[in-house]
Amino acid sequence: MKEYRKEIAIGFIPVLLAFLIFAGFPAIPLLLGVFLVAGLLLFAKSRGGVAVSAAGRKRPSRAPQELSFEDIGGQEQAKRELTEALEFLVKREQLSKLGIRPLKGILLTGPPGTGKTLLAKAAAHYTNSIFIAASGSEFVEMYVGVGASRIRELFQEARRQAARQKKDSAIVFIDEIDGIGGKRDGGQHREYDQTLNQLLTEMDGIQGDEHPRVLLIAATNRKDTLDPALLRPGRFDRNIQVDLPDKTGREHILKLHARNKPLAEGASLSKVADETFGFSGAQLESVMNEAAIYAMREECDEIRTEHLSRAIDKVMMGERMDRETTREERERVAIHELGHAIVAETVRPGSVAQVSLTPRGQALGYVRHNPSEDRYLYTKTVLEEQIMIALGGAIAEELNYGGRSTGSRNDFEQATNIVRMMIEAGLSGLGIVHPQALTTEQWSQENANILGDLTERTRDLLGVHLETFRRMLDILIREETLSGEELRKQLQAVA
């Protein structure tokens, strides 16, 4: 019966009105009174239960998901900086005594998936503030003035919700702010220029003594593209870098996402953290989720080490592909990947985690490395070793087949990029020189010198292990995978 109440009311009201008119009640005042009451009810409902997003779409109003800084892993430095910046919303009296101007904006910069949006939500929880979120792309419109009006509505909505819920502050979060905050080229008639001007005006209008206070938090992956007017003090007063997590941070993130997942006794999250250098927080969450999916497919009650290993491969390389390859192609791919693995294990002992012939994404095979430690600075020796590892696949094909294949294209691209890095860092035979001062011929000559020398060194290194190729090749083709431990065992047997 409950589901038909609305329909019954709609049918009953006209009948009631007709009866009252027939009984002698004045029709016009009665109808005006009904419309007035209905309008007031609709207005009250829209004010209390509906919020208007920056894009003009109506959506239900609800409190943001409760998220504290303790629920975010791998960003200890960013969390400290953000917490200090939020003190003006928490310790107002102390700041006013010292005459400190409240911050108006905080800019979070860093690669995708590092937790910038999560930090903004945690900031709202930390300061007990209203949280209003929008994306920079929501303000980009072809119609003049629409984006600017949506900026005004966004800040007005933040103040209205804070007042309605009796909060002292509100946080406005704009993700991908480079969509509207890009550098202007002098043209004042473009729509997103007007949108940016309105955003600047709103930030200038934020006063320290206003109630409720409004703080703008924005996120971007490309800080270098933002307009200087946004970045000056008095607008975005703090710029917090949200980088990819280090090993300790990765392990912390993995533990957070493993809280509701049953792990087998031998499954080591520390080992997973070792093998996921360069992974963002979003990728690490995906690793744990994919590992749980693998366990479910095999009807296992716990997530085992092999599930975690396959999940790392999937997140890193993509889904496994069902590609039919010939015996010759399979053997060539195996030799190519073994070339990478043998060079890597020789110049960096213990660095190979697995060699696989499983096609994933665009790769017919791959080597998963296990760096002993995270690196952020690279010496000439380290870069030369990396080039040798990249060249190892092509050199192994040459030694076994007398020629190369197109599978080395990405390897050569990686090698030439490292050579460019060496030249620009002053680690080449050219010494310290401005890159723009070099001619095309000088670039080509130095590139040829470095790659030629390292190619010969790689060929000499692999030449020692020619007899090992056949033995490991049979294992790899038969099993499709070769663990790092087995690779090291085979190399030690030759030594």
Task: Clarify whether residues 344 and 448 are in a common domain.
Answer: yes
Q: Which two tokens stand for residue 204?
A: 């200038």
Q: Which residues of 143-167 are buried (b: 16+ CB within 10 A; e: fewer)?
A: eeebbbbbbebbbebbbbbbeeeeb
CATH code of the domain containing 405: 1.20.58.760
**Residue span of the structural domain in which 285 resides:** 260-317
* 138 has pLDDT over 80: no
Is 288 found in the same domain as 231? no
Answer yes or no: do 229 and 105 share one domain: yes
Q: What are phi and psi of 356, to 5 degrees?
A: -135, 145
Q: What is the pLDDT of residue 60?
A: 36
232 and 272 in a single domain? The answer is no
Q: How far apart are the first and last CA of the chain?
A: 84
Residue pair 56/150 in contact by the 8 Å Cβ criterion: yes
Q: Are residues 110 and 218 in the same domain?
A: yes
Q: Would the pTM count as exceeding 0.85?
A: no
The catalytic position among 337, 384, 397, 446 is 337
Q: Is 148 within 8 Å of 197 (Cβ atoms)?
A: yes
Same domain for 212 and 291?
no
State the average pLDDT for the chain.
81
CATH number of the domain encompassing residue 79: 3.40.50.300
pLDDT bucket at 45, cuts 50 / 70 / 90: very low
Number of domains observed in the structure of the chain: 3
Q: Are residues 350 and 414 in the same domain?
A: yes
What pLDDT does 423 receive? 92
pLDDT in tens, 419-478: 999 999 999 988 888 888 889 899 999 999 999 999 999 999 988 888 877 788 888 888
The DSSP call for residue 170 is E
DSSP one-letter code for 180: T
Q: Is residue 125 one of the residues assigned to a domain?
A: yes
Give the Cα separation of 302 and 316 in Å (integer).
23
Q: What is the pLDDT of residue 473?
A: 85
Annotated catalytic residue 337 = yes
Please check whether residues 299 and 367 belong to one and the same domain: no
Q: How confident is the model at residue 86 (pLDDT cuts 50, 70, 90)?
A: confident
CB 114 within 8 A of CB 175: no
In a shared domain, residues 405 and 362? yes
How crowded is the C-beta side of 142, counted as CA atoms within 13 Å? 0
104-to-74, 174, 178, 214, 434 alpha-carbon distances in Å: 26, 14, 18, 7, 40
With residue 108 as reference, give the H or E element that holds it.
Answer: strand 105-109
